[in-house]
Chains A and B, each alone.
Chain A
């Protein structure tokens, strides 16, 4: 049977090419692939995920390089040209209630909106991920303490909590960022904790302990690699939530403030023009929807590529 076990492979080699030395290379290329290579390959073959990544790249790049794109000044008002419809000459997507160019404002708006979507998740990932890793790996009382505290935050829906925190901190982008970060720390802690607890109970972690390795080495080599995937997937979903929440905070006046270009805020200021220029006023909402949905779909793509069960 031993020969059968290995022979299958030898046959495959034989089929790939005649000489043993010549065979080794293609086989190596097929079989000897790391996990992350595989994930990358699967993601890049998933048309939805690739499309979403492309859209986001374009939006983000445009936002990043907005000052060099030769766009009209996003805060330049022109009371003569208020609410020009979409497709007007010189204003591809029309103008807003103060005559500012919509296209330019949507592009510039991506800067704040995307930043407010991504930054809180990154910071919360750092804090919550560390807490969750500690809680999950150390277990016992430490776990109890950390997890009971995060439970307290779970009593409220995230949007409400963000509004409450931002409201008590006062309006402003900085406070909105802080509020969203605080809201995201508990769920990231919890997800990291549950994945870490699962991984820690696995035999290979026990086998690593049996080899006499220290805790830090075990976490670095055996735990991190197995928890990063699921956490990453979850963080990507949170970005899509964060984009919506931050837009919501700006919409109700707790985030960005005029005359900043920010999608949520634009949605608010255009709200009164909904009957006069309906298309113009839904455009910021469309951007929020697109960005949020793309992050969500990318997360789905990553999830299936990594074969993550959350």
Chain B
């Protein structure tokens, strides 16, 4: 009987799953900030503006974009660590609140996050074991069981429990700390794992190890990843789909193949062109990205990228380009007037 159900779940998990696990619609967050002037108007940082995407169970969605474009804010909105101003987050066909919806606790059990800063996200006063066991403990698992779970997870992320379970964060290397963070994020058996720059702070060689660990874990535990990074190479390596953000907006969304081999948006192209390449042949003199992104407090009207875009025209200033599907087969979508029919832009493609 038991074997039978196990077989069935095994069969189910190997079958191609296409249902969306996470679906985000029109997510928006504007942070109020104090103006420089006393009694000045309240200003808003448009950190995340009208972001929508879905993640299919079992896949990895990569989010790329320059620093400050709203990647971490998106992650924190998904976890409901900050309240969205607008938008909906659906996980496995359910949303937060209401009848038949998730409670916050349930949501956070199903969706976990590895934070950007491996050191700051571990309590310096708690041993590795206690940090990992904290989540299960908070969900009512008895202390002994939670600790056993912590040891088991340490083994899973490649750290010897006998050696590491009673250490403190400052007694670990960066790679070891991020493994501990990963173990903690797995402690509640989540379905979706948000990895916010999970490997960015690591040495290249350690980074590769942790990436491989992530890929192994994903396969073994049947996880789904939202992988945030500003490193295009890493995103290409791990992702199935990629979402490109610019100043709080989604500018391009597509399969890894689409984004890396058939990029449409001038920003995506510039990002790809400006990444360091080992191959001198591949070093192109195409205009790489120059200057800093504009202030998210007063983003440019129309297309937010127009201040840095070589193809900006009058229409780009007046009309905001909507995210438009340009390849129905792969679902490749881009927000640029050059790729919208009858947009008024002189170029096309």
Q: Which residues of A contact B (CB under 8 A)?
A: 1-2, 5-6, 9, 24, 28, 31-32, 34-35, 202-204, 206-214, 217, 221-222, 225-226
Contacts and interface: CB of A to CB of B under 8 A. Distances in A.
Contacts of A208: 123, 134, 138
Given A2-B158, A24-B162, A207 B138 contact: no
A203 B138 contact: no
B135 A31 contact: no
Given A1-B205, A2-B158, A217-B138, A211 B124 contact: no
B120 A202 contact: yes
A208 B162 CA distance: 24
B275 interface: no
A203 B113 CA distance: 11
A93 B187 CA distance: 68
Nearest to A226: B125
Among A5, A6, A35, max chain B CB count under 10 A is at A5
B139 interface: yes
Given A212-B188, A226-B123, A32 B167 contact: yes
Contacts, number: 93
Contact of A2 (B108, B138, B187, B206): B206
Interface residues of B, number: 45
Given A9-B163, A226-B123, A203 B135 contact: no
B50 interface: no
A28 B124 contact: no
Contacts of A225: 123, 125-126
A1 B209 contact: yes
B123 A28 contact: no
29 contacts: A1-B209, A2-B175, A2-B209, A5-B206, A6-B163, A28-B166, A31-B171, A32-B127, A32-B167, A34-B168, A204-B121, A204-B122, A204-B131, A207-B113, A207-B121, A207-B122, A207-B181, A207-B184, A211-B108, A211-B139, A212-B105, A212-B107, A212-B108, A212-B109, A212-B135, A212-B139, A212-B188, A225-B123, A226-B124
Contacts of A217: 138
Interface string B174-210: 0110000100100110000000000000010110010
Nearest to B213: A2
A210 B122 contact: no
Given A2-B209, A5-B175, A210 B79 contact: yes
A139 to B, nearest CB: 13
A206 B115 contact: yes
Given A31-B167, A204-B121, A206-B115, A211 B206 contact: no
Given A2-B175, A5-B175, A210-B113, A32 B126 contact: no
Given A24-B162, A212-B104, A212-B109, A1 B203 contact: yes
B94 to A, nearest CB: 16
A217 B138 CA distance: 8
B295 to A, nearest CB: 23
Among A5, A28, A211, A213, max chain B CB count under 10 A is at A211
A208 B105 CA distance: 12
Contacts of B175: 1-2, 5
Contacts of B209: 1-2
A114 to B, nearest CB: 31
A206 B168 contact: no
Q: Which 3 A-B pairs rank lowest in CB-CB distance, beginning with the nearest? A: A213-B138, A211-B135, A203-B121
A218 B129 CA distance: 17
B224 interface: no
A230 B175 CA distance: 30
Contacts of A202: 120
Contacts of A24: 162
Among A2, A24, A28, A206, max chain B CB count under 10 A is at A2
Nearest to A222: B123
Given A35-B125, A204-B122, A211 B167 contact: no
B125 A211 contact: no
Contacts of A6: 160, 163
Nearest to B176: A5
A225 B126 CA distance: 9
Nearest to B115: A203
A229 to B, nearest CB: 9
